[in-house]
């Protein structure tokens, strides 16, 4: 419920921002991406699976050489975590939302290809795990109870970079999203904190109206 409240607030902010930066080529768009989650941690091993994200965004002409992109996305990342002292894996996922503001540089002086970068705020829930797996353990050298591992920090600050290509109404995009803050809020069986930073790659399509 908290995620949906935050998302509603972000959507309202997106609308206001779009109105303030309105130009003759300001466009409202929708989009969908495939996502591939990564976790930087020495304490667990994960394998990325294909997740998905949906977007509502505006893209406007900032000046002759740059576009500005405001975007709100809802994601469902999927991944597997290796069980402690086993080759078996446990399926997990995480649902959340990301709000980003990107400056898009028109590399060749036209909007057909742009390099894009900017900040983002990410809000996410705990890892989603099947109840039958909660009593199992994950970890590399120090076991972590799965019911403990599912705990996460709900807010993070991301850096986003990538590119998009296409025409005014249709574009393909690819971005890398890196979280600066520790994403995990769990402990090992021995009481040590579990550290790890989330990042993910997204690639997909945008349609503007």
Which domains occur in the chain, in start order? 2-208 (2.40.160.20)
The answer to whether the beta carbons of residues 60 and 22 sit under 8 Å apart is yes
Q: What is residue 110's predicted lDDT score, i.e. its pLDDT?
A: 87
0.85 exceeded by pTM: yes
The answer to whether the beta carbons of residues 186 and 141 sit under 8 Å apart is no
Q: How far is CA 160 from the centre of its chain?
A: 9
Q: Which residue has the tokens 């998302």?
A: 7
Give the Cα separation of 32 and 130 in Å (integer).
26
Give the Cα separation of 165 and 178 in Å (integer).
22
What is the sign, positive or negative, of the torsion defined by CA atoms of 92, 174, 204, 31?
positive
Q: What is residue 111's predicted lDDT score, i.e. its pLDDT?
A: 87
Count the Cβ atoms, other than its own, within 10 Å of residue 119.
13
Each residue of 76-128: pLDDT tens digit? 999 999 999 998 999 999 999 999 999 999 999 888 999 999 999 999 999 99
104: left (phi over 0), alpha (psi -120 to 50) or beta: beta
Each residue of 132-180: pLDDT tens digit? 999 999 999 999 999 999 999 999 999 999 999 999 899 999 999 999 9
């Amino acid at each position: 419920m908290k995620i949906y409240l935050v998302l509603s607030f972000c959507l309202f902010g997106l609308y206001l921002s779009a109105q303030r930066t309105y130009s003759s080529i300001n466009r409202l768009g929708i989009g969908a991406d495939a996502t591939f989650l990564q976790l930087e941690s020495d304490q667990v091993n994960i394998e990325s699976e294909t997740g998905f994200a949906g977007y509502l965004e505006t893209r406007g002409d900032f000046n002759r050489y740059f576009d500005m992109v405001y975007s709100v996305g809802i994601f469902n990342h999927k991944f597997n975590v290796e069980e402690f002292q086993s080759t078996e894996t446990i399926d997990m996922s995480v649902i959340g939302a990301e709000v980003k503001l990107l400056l898009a540089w028109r590399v060749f002086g036209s909007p057909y290809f742009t390099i894009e970068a900017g900040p983002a705020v990410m809000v996410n829930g705990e890892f989603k795990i099947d109840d039958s797996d909660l009593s199992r353990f994950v970890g590399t050298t120090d076991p972590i109870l799965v019911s403990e591992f599912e705990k996460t920090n709900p807010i993070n600050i991301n850096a986003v970079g990538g590119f998009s290509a296409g025409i005014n109404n249709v574009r393909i995009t690819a971005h890398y999203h890196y979280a600066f803050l520790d994403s995990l809020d769990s402990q090992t069986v021995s009481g040590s904190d579990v550290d790890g930073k989330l990042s993910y790659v997204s690639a997909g399509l945008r349609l503007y109206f």
